Chains A and B, each alone.
Chain A
Amino acid sequence: MSDITIQSLSLLVENIKSKKLSSSEVTKAFVDRSEKSKELNAYITEDYANALNKAKMFDEKPNLDLKLPGIPMAVKDLFCTKDLRTTAGSKILNNFVPTYESTVTQNIWNEGAILMGKLNCDEFAMGSSNETSFFGNVQNPIDKNLVPGGSSGGSSSAVAAQLTPITIGTDTGGSIRQPASFTGTVGLKPTYGSCSRYGIVAFASSLDQAGPMAQNVKDCALLQEVISTYDEKDSTSIDFKRNEYSKELTKNIKGKKIGIPKEYRVDGMPKEIEDLWKKGIEYAKDCGAEIIDISLPHTNYALPTYYIVAPAEASSNLARYDGVKYGFRAEGENLIDMYEKTRSEGFGAEVQRRIMIGTYVLSSGYYDAYYLKAQKVRKLIKNDFDDAYKKVDAILTPSTPSSAFKIGEKTNDPVSMYLNDIFTVPVNLAGLPGISIPAGHDARGYPLGLQIIGRAFDEQNILNIAYAMEEKINFKNNITDWWIK
C-alpha cells in the first residue's frame, strides 16, 4: 500500500480504471499518510471519515468513465465546500460552514474525485510563506525549517509530501507558482477568466485565479481540463474554447519561439537563479525551441502596481467580514465598537496591513495618485506582453528570485517578503497563464523553479513546453519523510 502515494495522478487513474486499485485503497493510503504527517500542519480541516465513506460508495458503484474516478484530494481552504468548514486561514471565518460549493470544486467532484480535507494557506491568501495563517505555519517537506511558500503553502506541502495526489490552489500574485517552485512541484496559474471564481473567498477580484498543483505536468494538464469551465455565475468568466489539455499534451515544441525578457535579470539575483535560467534556456533549445531576446520594459513597476491594486480590492472585498452575518463576532458597546473589535481580533497583522494600504490608496485625494495611476501602469504592463507575443509564443523566466527561505526569516520585513513575487506578479496583472516547473536545486539542495508564461487562453502551449522541458530536466525531489516517526 505504501507505494500507492508515490504514484502520479495519471497512474492512479489508470490503476483505478483497470481495477488494479480501488478508490478505497487509494483513499486509505492518502488518509493514512496524511494522518502520519500532522507535523507538516498542511491541513486546517480533515474530513477523512467522510472521504473513506465516499470511496466505499464509489467502489460499490464505480463510474470509470470519469476523469478523476474515486481519486481522493485535499483542496486549499479558500474554496467554499458545502457542509465543510471553510476558513480562508482566518480566525474571522474560523466557524464558517458554507451551504454551497465553489464551481471549481464542484467540477472536481463531478468528475469523481473525493474531498479529504481543507489545506492550510496564508490568511485570505495574503502572504508568500504561509506564515500569516491563523492556523499556524506549514512546514516544507524538503526541510523542517523551510517555508513551503504561499499563499497556497498547505497545498504545495501536501502535494510534495504526497498527502494528496494533486490539489488546487489560487494565485493572485504568485500563490500557486511560488509555492510550487519552493517545493519542487508543478503549479499552473490559468488565464484570468479560465476558472470560475464563484465560491472562492475573494482576495483581489481582478487578479484571483484558481489553478492546479501537481507532481508533474501531465497531472496538471488533466486537472486544468476538469476545473476550467465557463460559468455564468462569475461575470468575469470567459466563454472560450477549452482544450482537452491532457489529451492534446505533446512534447513536440519544435520551432516554438521562446522569449527571454532582459528585465527579469534583477539586481542582487543569486547566481544560482541566473544559472538555472541559463540551464532552462539550454533545455528549451534541446527541445527544438527557438530562443529570442525580448524586452518587457515596465517590469520594474509591476510589484508596486500590484501592491496598490491588490490591497485596494482586498480592502473592499474584506469589508463583508464585519461580525454581523456570519463568522467571528466580538461583543461591543455599539455597532462601531463591535466592528472595530471584531475586525481587530478577527484579522491578523498582514491582512490588517493590506486593508490599511488599500483603504489609503482608494481615499479621496489619493485615488488618482495611486489607484488610477496603478491601473494605467497595469495597462502598460499588459501592452508589454502583447508586444512581446508578436515575436514569441511563450516567455521563460525563473519562478522566484530565490529558493525557499527559513520560517521566520522574513516575517518582520514585509517588503522583502513582497519581493518574492517579483517574477510572478506581472503575469497576474496581465491576466496571462503561467506555469512553474521544478528545474533544479540550489547549493543546499532546495528546489528551484522555472516559469513559462503564455498568451491568454494558450494554456495548451505552455503545458506542452513544460511537458517537453520536464523530460529533459528530469527533476528529482529530495524528500526524506523526516516528519514521519
Chain B
Amino acid sequence: MSKNKSEYLINRHDNQYEVVIGLEVHAQVSSQSKLFSTSSTKFGAEPNTQVSLVDAAFPGMLPVINEYCVKQAIKTGIGLKAKINKRSIFDRKNYFYADLPQGYQISQFKDPIVGEGKVILDMPDGQKEVGIERLHLEQDAGKSIHDLDPKNTFVDLNRSGVALMEIVSKPDLRSPDEVNAYIKKLRSIMRYLGTCDGNMQEGSLRADVNVSVRKKGSKDFGTRCEIKNVNSIKFMQMAIEYEANRQVDLIEDGQKIDQETRLFDTKKNETRSMRSKEDAHDYRYFPDPDLLPLEVSDDFIENLKSEIPELPDEKKKRFIEKFKLSPYEANILVSDIETSNYFENVIKKSDVKLATNWIIGELFAALNEKNLEITESPISAGNLSKLINLIKDGTISGKIAKTVFEQMMEGDKDPKKIVEEKGLKQESDPKALEALIDKVIDDNRDKATEYKSGKVKLFGFFVGQVMKVSGGKANPQLVNEILKKKL
C-alpha cells in the first residue's frame, strides 16, 4: 500500500508501477482574426466562409503575424510564470494533407516564444508543482469531413490558420486526477487572462497525452506512447488508465513497449496504434523564410505584465488572508474568474462567511441542477447579497431564506419584496412570541410537566412546536430564550 493516499499506482503480482504523464495542450488563442491572416475565427460559421487567400495558400500569398496573438501568447507565458523569449522563430512543419493548404504548418520549433514555467495544482493531500517546458504559437489546420459522402472527403478551411498555443508540460504528472487538476488549472489561468476560452466542446482546448510507466522507485523513464488529440478531460483520464495498464501488461508479459503514436477510441475505451516510430513523419522543420524572427522588447513585455489581472493562485491567497476562507473554500471560489467575480460582488455588501456558504452550498447546487453556468445564474450577485443581509439582520431565518432563495431562482426577484409579499418576515416581537409560547405550553401540559421533572430533551420538541405554529417565522433565538424562562 502506498503511504500517500492519493498516489496512483498500478499493481501486478508483486510489482507496483508508477505512471508518468506529460501533456501537449493545444489551446486556441482568443482573438478576432487568425494568426497570419485577417479572417474571422468565429466558431460555427458555414464551412469555408472564413477563409482568406492566405489561409487557402493561393500562389504568392504571404503570412503576416497578428500582433494580438503574440500578446496573448506572452500574457499566457506570464500567467505560467514562464520565461518570455524576446526573440523567437517561426518554422515550417512540412507534411501533406488535404486540410493543410500550404503543405506545411507554421509553428515554432527550436525557438518558442515562451520558455520554462510552472503550474501549481491543489491536490487533496497538498500542492503539487508541474513544470512547463515551453509554449509556442502555431497555426491550426482545416477540418476533413469524411462522413458526408461515401467516396469523397470534404474540407472546411474555417479553422485553417487559427492561432493555437501549444503548451508542453514536463513529464511531471503521475495520475489521471493530476491530469484533471492540471487541465482545469491551465484552463482557469487562461480564462482569467482572457487568452483562451477553454471551451472543450468547440475544440478550443485539446491535448496530446504522453504516457509511460515505470516500476515504483525507478528513476529512469519508460518508453512512452503519445495519444493524439484527446478533447475532453474524461477521455484523457480514460485513455491514460487504459494505456498505462496496457503498458504494464506488456512489461509483465516480458514484452517491449514500442514508441508510437496512438489514438483513443472513445466508443471502445481503448487506445490503438496509429503509426510507429519508424513511420513517423519527417517534418523537415526549417525557419519560415516568409517571416522575420519575432522580436519583442522589454517594454512590450512590461506593458503586458501591467495588464495581467490577479490570477487564481494570488486570488486564493488573498481570499484566505483577507476573508479568512478555508483553502478548500478559496479553491472553489477562485477556480474560475466568473465565480470569483460573483463572490466578490456578493460580499461587497454582505457577510463573507454567510456568502461563502450560500454560494458554495445552495447556489452551486441549484445551478448544477439546472445545468447553468455562474454567468447564467438567475440570481444576481446583488440580490444574493440582499438575501444574506436579511438573514444577518434577523429579518428572516435561515430556513425561510431557503424558501426565498427557491423563489429567487425562478426569476431574479428582490428578496425583500418576496419576504414582504409572502409575509415571511421573522417574528421577533417578544410579546407576540410570549403569547405563542404560552399557547404551545398550554396545549402540551403533560410534556411540560415531564420537562420540568428532568426530561430536558423535550426542549427541542417545544422549539419545533413554536416554529410550526408560527409558520417558521418565529425568531429561533428569541424562542429559545423565552421558552427557557417559561418552562
Contacts and interface: CB of A to CB of B under 8 A. Distances in A.
Whether chains A and B associate is yes
Interface of A: 80, 86, 88, 93, 96, 98-100, 102, 197-202, 204-206, 232-236, 312-313, 315-316, 318-320, 322, 324-326, 335, 339, 359, 362-364, 367, 371
Nearest to B291: A235
- Contact-residue bracket for chain B: 20 to 34
Interface stretch (B26-34, B55-63, B130-138, B184-192): B55-63
A312 B291 CA distance: 16
Contact of A363 (B103, B155, B282): B282
Contacts of B57: 320, 325
A313 B289 contact: yes
Contacts of B289: 204-206, 236, 313
A246 B301 CA distance: 44
A322 B103 contact: yes
A363 B280 CA distance: 13
Contacts of A80: 59-60
B103 A320 contact: yes
Given A204-B289, A325-B101, A359-B284, A335 B153 contact: yes
A235 B292 contact: yes
9 contacts: A80-B60, A99-B53, A202-B60, A233-B64, A235-B62, A235-B64, A313-B289, A324-B101, A362-B286
Contact of A198 (B60, B65, B285): B60
A397 B196 CA distance: 56
A355 to B, nearest CB: 11
Interface stretch (B91-99, B117-125, B368-376, B394-402): B91-99
B103 A326 contact: no
A362 B284 contact: yes
Given A316-B284, A319-B104, A201 B60 contact: yes
B59 A236 contact: no
A102 B98 CA distance: 26
Contact of A199 (B60, B103, B286, B291): B60
B139 interface: no
B286 A319 contact: no
Given A235-B65, A363-B282, A316 B92 contact: yes
B102 A320 contact: yes
B366 to A, nearest CB: 51
Given A201-B59, A367-B286, 4 more contacts: A80-B59, A200-B60, A320-B102, A367-B285
Contacts of B63: 235
Interface string B375-409: 00000000000000000000000000000000000
Given A320-B102, A322-B103, A364-B282, A197 B94 contact: no
A100 B53 contact: yes
B94 A319 contact: yes
B306 to A, nearest CB: 28
**Pairs A-B, 8 closest by C-beta atoms:** A319-B103, A205-B289, A362-B284, A206-B289, A320-B57, A199-B60, A201-B59, A80-B60
Contacts of B103: 316, 318-320, 322
A335 B146 CA distance: 12
A234 B64 CA distance: 7
Interface in B257-293: 282, 284-286, 289-292
Contact of A339 (B96, B155, B285): B96
Interface string B288-300: 0111100000000
A320 B57 CA distance: 7
Interface string B53-97: 100111111111100000000000000000000000000101010
